[in-house]
Structure 1
Amino acid sequence: MTTLSTGHSEIISQNPVDLAEELAGANDWAVERHGEDELTMFISGQYTDLQFRVFWREDFKTLQFACLFDLKVPEGRRADIYRVLGMINERMWIGHFEYWSEEDALLFRHASLVGDPLIGAIGEEHMVTMVETALGECERFYPVFQFVMWGGQSPEEAIESAMLECAGTA
């Protein structure tokens, strides 16, 4: 798992998008700011490039991440992708994967509520944990999507192939 840092001691921000921007800078990720409450970080993963979108909704005190893969689903494989998404999401504790047909995009999405008066804002540790979790899940399940779309495997075969954990060294 990738360990991230903002390069600061525990920072607290009322607008967590500012903190996400600091995190991107500390990790040398390209960033596009789309206003006060939204940004996109461009991250090179182990398997593919990711667009990591961060959205802040002040009215709901909610921070949402959408981590999009750099792949397009072939039309003939969409039914299997929907099936594998359901199977993957059954294994998820935090967040979920989905397919946006209008954008032809596979992504991981998760939201965090910040309505607790004891929390008050999202700090560095919270932000880093959310980003690490999203990146980790994208890296873990990317091969499943590849096996289904381009390897011709069924969703069951793809999950079994990708979820094998190797022990020892070669």
Structure 2
Amino acid sequence: MRPSEERYEVDQGAAPLEMLIALFEARGWPCESTQTEMSGEIQGSWTKYQLRGIWRPDDMVLQILCLPDIRISKDKMASAHELVSLVNEQMWLGHFDIWSNGGVLLYRNGTMLGDDGLLSLGQAQALVEIAVDECDRFYPAFQFILWGGRTPEEALEDAMVDAAGEA
């Protein structure tokens, strides 16, 4: 048995928000919570992200929102919506959206938990890492639309270029 397995053998899961809060505290990330929501901040590769976990016990659904602090101006809204559509075609889990109230860009992923409503440490880590990774992966594309004057297709293509070699 590996040390990490031994350490969490007894704790197979916890209430979703409690597990997210424990993860944030263990990593030294600031967070706060209410009975149905937790909110914290994580430093990504490009910017700080606000991450929210919203628990709906009636449905046994945990929703993860990750907000990269990008607001879409009205003059860029059509291009941004087109880019969101192109980006979402590239994703397996979750999706990006633009809130109609304020033009805020966000990543959203809903997870149905089992009848016990528990979230494991592994699940919590994966949900948070996926949210941050996807925001990091597509952050440049949205910046190319907002500040670089690129078309949605150009912005996505430029953002998806993998760097070759090492710096």
Q: Distance in 2 between matches of 1:15 and 1:88?
A: 32
Match of 2:134 in 1: 137
What TM-score do you get using the length of structure 2 for normalisation? 0.90
Q: Distance in 2 between matches of 1:73 and 1:9?
A: 42
Match of 1:109 in 2: 108
Q: 1:138/1:123 Cα in 2 relative to 1: closer, same or farther (>3 Å)?
A: same
Write the letter of the residue equivalent to 1:25: E
Match of 2:17 in 1: 17
| Larger relative helix fraction | 2
Q: Distance in 2 between matches of 1:97 and 1:53?
A: 14
Q: Distance in 2 between matches of 1:109 and 1:120?
A: 20
Q: Distance in 1 between matches of 2:102 and 2:26?
A: 30
Deviations 1:41-94 (A, max 9, x none): 111211111110001111111111010111221221110000000000011110
Match of 2:30 in 1: 30
Match of 2:147 in 1: 150
Considering only aligned residues, what root-mean-square deviation do their CA atoms show, in Å? 1.7
Q: Secondary structure at the match of 2:101?
A: coil
Match of 1:128 in 2: 125
1:14 Cα deviation after fit: 4.2
Write the letter of the residue equivalent to 2:19: L
Match of 1:91 in 2: 90
Q: Is the 8 A contact 1:65 1:110 kept in 2?
A: yes
Q: Distance in 2 between matches of 1:124 and 1:140?
A: 24
Q: Which runs of 4+ in 1 moved over 4 A?
A: none
Q: Secondary structure at the match of 2:153?
A: helix
Q: Is the 8 A contact 1:80 1:155 kept in 2?
A: yes
Structure 1: runs of 5+ lacking an equivalent: none
Q: Distance in 1 between matches of 2:57 and 2:80?
A: 34
Write the letter of the residue equivalent to 1:164: V
Structure 2: runs of 5+ lacking an equivalent: none
Write the letter of the residue equivalent to 1:97: F
Deviations 1:14-47 (A, max 9, x none): 42100100111111111121x2121101112111
Q: Is the 8 A contact 1:40 1:53 kept in 2?
A: yes
Task: Report how many aligned residue pairs link the two structures.
Answer: 161
What TM-score do you get using the length of structure 1 for normalisation? 0.88
| Aligned sequence identity (%) | 38
Q: Is the 8 A contact 2:15 2:117 kept in 1?
A: no
